[in-house]
Chain A
Amino acid sequence: MAPPLAQSSNPFAMDSDLNDPHSMGTTIIGVTYEGGVVLGADSRTSTGMYVANRASDKITQLTDNIYVCRSGSAADSQIVSDYVRYFLHQHTIQLGQPATVKVAANLLRLFSYQNKNMLQTGLIVGGWDKYEGGQIYSIPLGGTILRQPFTIGGSGSSYLYGFFDQAWKEGMSKDEAEKLVVKAVSLAIARDGASGGVVRTVVINGDGVRRNFYSGDSLPLWHEELEPRNSLLDILSAAAATSPDPMNI
């Protein structure tokens, strides 16, 4: 994110945010289960304090069977995904069969590592291939590549480490894994200002790929979150029916 302009010494100068580079505060998650993987993400793209896109899709397709969750700079992660999609496509044609998840992850980390001075991307690669089944690879900021049974990323992930330590288990079913991912993203959204909006998931296994969408109001509310209200008028008009004093409901 660009450093704050002089204007920001005035807390009401919201204009400065509009010119900041788009960053995805983000919560992203990748989880393996018995037979495949589940990828999950929130949908908030922010420029400073302004939410540039409240319904963005951070889970990007690289091939038929491999997707990547993007966090960090929106531009950087998009361009890197585009490059890797291009190379993977050529690779698939040359090989005559679908690319493996490991190859996709390796290409992404070569980009991340070799351009680490210029890029700011945290990526989670997830997919299924016929040799190794479902796999998740984590590629954080510096360009490390690490295969893990599950991994979390983005600013919202700080709030999820303890949760996963307790809630993760080996050999979950598809539904258990997806429920876990949705719960985790919604917990992070509750606590992280840079994450929000809807929860998107992508389930990948030998039978194919399935995208799911969980709207903001279908997610559970956590500790101290307010009940959604449509407008103050509802409260006032409801109150008027019972008591004539609008400020003392």
Chain B
Amino acid sequence: MSSIGTGYDLSVTTFSPDGRVFQIEYAAKAVDNSGTVVGIKCKDGIVLAVEKLIPSKMMLAGSNRRIHAVHRHSGMAVSGLAADGRQIVARAKSEATNYERIYGEPIPVKELADRVASYVHLCTLYWWLRPFGCGIIIGGYDRDGPQLYIVEPSGVSYRYFGAAIGKGRQAAKTEIEKLKLSELTCRQGVIEVAKIIYGVHDEAKDKAFELELSWVCEESNRQHQKVPEDLVEAAKAAAQAALEEMDAD
């Protein structure tokens, strides 16, 4: 879908003759070129996973987190420009606490996704702002059950059973579609998602990466948390094994 928008792509307030806003499309490219982020809705909750590309061996493992808790019951995984992502996370946290202060109950995930999408969209309406260069996967568990949303740089937000954004999204989506999500528990989902991330990681092009995992499910008491260490290790081991099996073919 790429084309040159010469002349119509300098400002986010300019439409091209065929009705496209190129700045927003370029913002989406920033997402497409960054590490893969995957989210799935299992029968008892949501699992989020990030392929966090590590630019330098000197970085401390576990720093520069890409998955953030927005509220007790929901979290966000960010792909694209990390600094932009931090802004959006800060806004989402503030929307969530504000909602609870006024309405007396935790923000429904749908409402949270709507508000984040509105905020992202806002920055596509003015010439003095640039669009956010990040894609966000929101996973949460409220009284209507577990829900998964993507918010794109254009400001659209859709609800999904399984979602992937970033470099390896095409391959990841194919893998997700093979899974029977309605029968998976989050425990099983964590393993599957680790396998997917390891599978789409391109050893040749990219350097080392760190796998970041989080979940909101019955087992975590409907709270958004990092997946427990032992399960993460098990997931990584299973993913490595699956990779070796594939290479052996």
Contacts and interface: CB of A to CB of B under 8 A. Distances in A.
Q: Do A and B come from one complex?
A: yes
Interface of A: 91, 94-96, 100, 102-103, 105-107, 110, 131, 145
A96 B144 CA distance: 13
A196 B52 CA distance: 71
Given A94-B111, A95-B108, A103 B143 contact: no
Contact of A102 (B102, B104, B108, B110): B104
Contacts of B111: 94-95
A110 B102 contact: yes
B105 interface: yes
Contacts of B128: none
Given A94-B111, A131-B143, A107 B102 contact: yes
Given A94-B111, A95-B111, A105 B143 contact: no
A91 B110 CA distance: 13
A100 B102 contact: no
Contact of B102 (A94, A95, A105, A106): A106
Nearest to B114: A94
Interface string B99-129: 0001111001011001000000000000000
A94 B111 CA distance: 8
A107 B104 CA distance: 8
A91 B104 CA distance: 13
A95 B102 CA distance: 14
B114 to A, nearest CB: 8
Interface residues of B, number: 9
Task: Report, nearest first, the 4 A-B pairs whose CB atoms are least far apart.
Answer: A106-B104, A103-B103, A131-B143, A102-B104
Interface in B5-54: none
Contacts of A107: 102-104
Contacts of B114: 94
Contacts of A103: 103-105
Contacts of A95: 108, 111
Contacts of A106: 102-105
B108 to A, nearest CB: 7
A149 B104 CA distance: 19
Nearest to B104: A106
22 contacts: A91-B103, A94-B111, A94-B114, A95-B108, A95-B111, A96-B110, A100-B105, A102-B105, A103-B103, A103-B104, A103-B105, A105-B104, A106-B102, A106-B103, A106-B104, A106-B105, A107-B102, A107-B103, A107-B104, A110-B102, A131-B143, A145-B104
Interface in B188-236: none
B110 to A, nearest CB: 8
B149 to A, nearest CB: 15
Contacts of B103: 91, 103, 106-107
Nearest to A96: B110
A100 B104 CA distance: 10
A108 to B, nearest CB: 10
B66 to A, nearest CB: 30
Nearest to B101: A110
Interface in B87-103: 102-103
Contacts of B143: 131
Nearest to B105: A102
A35 B206 CA distance: 60
A155 to B, nearest CB: 28
A110 B102 CA distance: 8
A246 to B, nearest CB: 66
B140 to A, nearest CB: 15
A131 B108 CA distance: 13
B70 to A, nearest CB: 18
A42 to B, nearest CB: 29
B122 to A, nearest CB: 17
A240 to B, nearest CB: 67
Given A96-B110, A106-B104, A107-B103, 5 more contacts: A94-B111, A95-B108, A103-B105, A110-B102, A145-B104
